Structure formats: C-alpha cells, structure tokens
Amino acid sequence: FFAHPVDVPSLERHLRQLVNLPQQDPYRVLIVDDDLELAEHFRLTLKGAGIESRVITAPRDVLRGLRDFVPDLVLIDINMPGCSGPELARLIRFDDDWLRIPLVYLSAESDVHRQAQALAQAGDDFLVKPIADVALVAAVTARAQRSRQLSLALARDGLTGLIKHPAIKELIEIEQARSERTGSEACVVMIDIDRFKSINDTYGHGTGDYVIRLLANLLRQRLRRVDHVGRYGGEEFVAVLPSCSLEHAREAIERIRVSFSQLECVAARETFNVTFSAGVASTLDWQPAEALLEAADRAMYDAKQGGRNQTRV
Ligand code: GH3
Ligand code: MG
Ligand code: MG
Ligand code: MG
C-alpha cells in the first residue's frame, strides 16, 4: 500500500471544510483606498464576479480589517493621507500571520520608477488605475486562487501529506461542536509508534521517516473518507472519526494496529516489524477539545504502560 501516492484531493477537501471554505466559497478581498467612491466601484465590480470585498478608507483600520475579514488578498492604494501604500504593506508584513497574503497595489501611479520603488519596499504586484473591470477581476481571481492553494499546502505536513497539528486541533473543535449540536458521537484517536527511537538508532533516520510515511498511508487508506488524519508530532498521529461510537472507533483502530504490526518494513537487507499504541476518547465524555485530546493521550499512555502494541479507551 505504500506505493500509493498521498491522497491530496481528499486532504484538501478536509482542509476546506476545516477553514470553512467549500469549493464554491467566494474569494475575499480587502480594498484599502482613501477614495471611498472609487473603492465602492471596485467592490461592486468584484461583487459582480462573485468576489466578496470589504472597503477600508483609513489605513489605521487595516489590521483590524485583516483580522475580522480574513481576506485572500489585499488591494492597496499608493497615495493615502497619513500612510503611504508601501508603508502600509510593510506594516502588514510585520505580522507573521500575514506573511504570505498577496499585497497588490492598485494605484494611479503611472511612473514605472515609482512603481518599482513601491514594490522594492513591500508588496507583490502592481495594477494601474484606471483599470478595466474584466482586468481587475482576472488579476484578483488569479492571485486569490494562488493564495488559497498556498494556505492549503502550508496546513499539510511535508513528510506525510497529513494535516498538521494546529489544523487538526481546529478540526477537533469543529467536530466537537457538530457533535454537541446534533447529539452524534465523534471519537479522537491518539497513535504513537512503539520504541521508535530504537528504529532510528538501528536503521537510521531515513528508515524512521519511511516508517512514519508507511503508517500515515495505512491510516489514510483504512479510515473512512470522512475521517481526518493528522500528524501530531514526530511519530505521533491523531485521527478524528465523526459519527462513530467509542466501540466502533476502538475496533477500527485495532484492525489497523494488527495490520501494521504484521507489515514487513524493509531496511537495507533486513526486514523488521513495528507496532503502535493507541488511545481513544469520545466527544460524549470529554469537552472541550483540549480535554478530549488529553483523554485520548492518557488512554494511549495506558496502552504503553500495559505493554504497548494495543488500543485503550
Ligand atoms: P515509546 O514506545 O515510549 O513511544 O518510545 P519511543 O522511542 O517511540 O518514544 P520517544 O518519544 O522517546 O521517541 C520518539 C523519537 O522519534 C525521538 C525522535 O528522535 C524521533 N523522531 C521525531 N520526529 C521524527 C521524524 O520526523 N523522523 C524520524 N526519523 N524520527 C523522528
Ligand atoms: Mg489615494
Ligand atoms: Mg512519542
Ligand atoms: Mg513513540
């Protein structure tokens, strides 16, 4: 099964759910321009193309606008009273949360040297006013799309393609809220590879990485499409199983545990076996997400104490 590529489309679907961005969700653009009339014109143009935007006329409001609106892209005027476009762009880039959001100047500045100067200070691109509606829509769509693809890629772990720690935590919160709303049960599973240090020590770090990828692929293949699988830490994984009882979750993980333990791992000329320990907890028993994760972690620790290669609830 390890020959199978990472199932990226299904992961992306999970992440879109996670950040509440279904495929059809409109792109969001923050427009910063001191000329309200013009900004409103841009907003309506974008709206006509299904793109949502919010207008900010005072540069000092931009950080709040970013936080509240969470745009895919920012359009920035160059000449504004109090704060120039490039100054504002630098201010936005100062905050780690907005390191990768596209900052696009939309300005009447037609002097290419001044345009270049602005871009040299901060910002990613330049659009010149007046701009045809169709050109604005095309430019915004292309960059917003790219920006979203990048966010999705960054939420994914490079080694395994699984969801990273912060994103999986948010997923747990979402599933917990859903469970509370609908009364359905969801389970969280914490999985930790047994004696992983000795695998690294015996066969090398590369083989350790290979074992991590092996288990990641097995989890993804054996769990349902609605389940979420994340890499929680080095050799630790978290699975979130919506609409699943504690007993069913335990059984599903037990089957995976047995398969994994029987799998022959290959290193140089040897083959060897690896096992994991797992702990399961239910949304019906634990709130909030933090407590649910801790309960699954405690159950996993019990499994370790009990001799490893087992699942506890
Ligand atoms: P236990 O059965 O109690 O879980 O023992 P363990 O050896 O698996 O547990 P421990 O947490 O002590 O060791 C985990 C090791 O995993 C430590 C670290 O060097 C290694 N590790 C963490 N991340 C990676 C990784 O990405 N690749 C590799 N190859 N090793 C990693
Ligand atoms: Mg202006
Ligand atoms: Mg560990
Ligand atoms: Mg371990």
pLDDT digits (tens, 9 = 90+) for 24-56: 589 999 999 999 999 999 999 999 999 999 999
SS (H, E, C) the chain: CCCCCCCHHHHHHHHHHHCCCCCCCCCEEEEECCCHHHHHHHHHHHHHCCCEEEEECCHHHHHHHHHHHCCCEEEECCCCCCCCHHHHHHHHHCCHHHCCCCEEEEECCCCHHHHHHHHHHCCCEEEECCCCHHHHHHHHHHHHHHHHHHHHHHCECCCCCCEEHHHHHHHHHHHHHHHHHHCCCCEEEEEEECCHHHHHHHHCHHHHHHHHHHHHHHHHHHCCCCCEEEECCCCEEEEEECCCCHHHHHHHHHHHHHHHHHCCEEECCEEECCCEEEEEEECCCCCCHHHHHHHHHHHHHHHHHCCCCCEEC
Q: Whose CA is nearest to atom 23 of ligand 1?
A: 234
Q: How far apart are CA 299 and CA 289, in angstroms?
A: 15
Q: Is the CB of 205 under 6 A from ligand 1?
A: yes
Q: Whose CA is nearest to atom 22 of ligand 1?
A: 234
Q: Is the CB of 236 under 6 A from ligand 1?
A: no
What is the number of the ligand 1 atom nearest to the C-alpha of 211? 29
Identified catalytic residue from 37, 235, 254, 264 = 235
The reported pTM is 0.68
Residues in the chain: 313
Quick one: average pLDDT of 279-304? 96
235 is a catalytic site residue: yes
What is the number of the ligand 1 atom nearest to the C-alpha of 212? 27
Q: pLDDT tens digits, residue range 67-90?
A: 899 899 999 999 999 899 999 999
Quick one: average pLDDT of 263-267? 93
Choose the residue to mutate in 190, 194, 197, 236 for probing ligand 1, maximizing ligand atoms within 8 Å of C-beta.
197
Going from the Cα of 211 to the center of ligand 1, the distance in angstroms, rounded, reads: 11
What is the number of the ligand 1 atom nearest to the C-alpha of 209? 29
Going from the Cα of 102 to the center of ligand 4, the distance in angstroms, rounded, reads: 40
Q: Is the CB of 197 under 6 A from ligand 1?
A: yes
Quick one: average pLDDT of 288-301? 96
Bridge partner residues of 242 (DSSP): none
- Of 22-26, 131-135, 216-220, the least confident: 22-26
Going from the Cα of 170 to the center of ligand 2, the distance in angstroms, rounded, reads: 39
Better pLDDT: 241 or 100:
241
Q: Is the CB of 275 under 6 A from ligand 1?
A: no
The answer to whether the CB of 73 falls within 8 A of the CB of 29 is: yes
User: Which residue, chain included where needed, has tokens 């609106």?
Assistant: 69
Q: How far apart are CA 188 and CA 229, in angstroms?
A: 10
Q: Which residues of 115-129 are buried (b: 16+ CB within 10 A; e: fewer)?
A: beebbeebbbebeeb
Q: Is the CB of 123 under 6 A from ligand 1?
A: no
What is the number of the ligand 1 atom nearest to the C-alpha of 197? 7
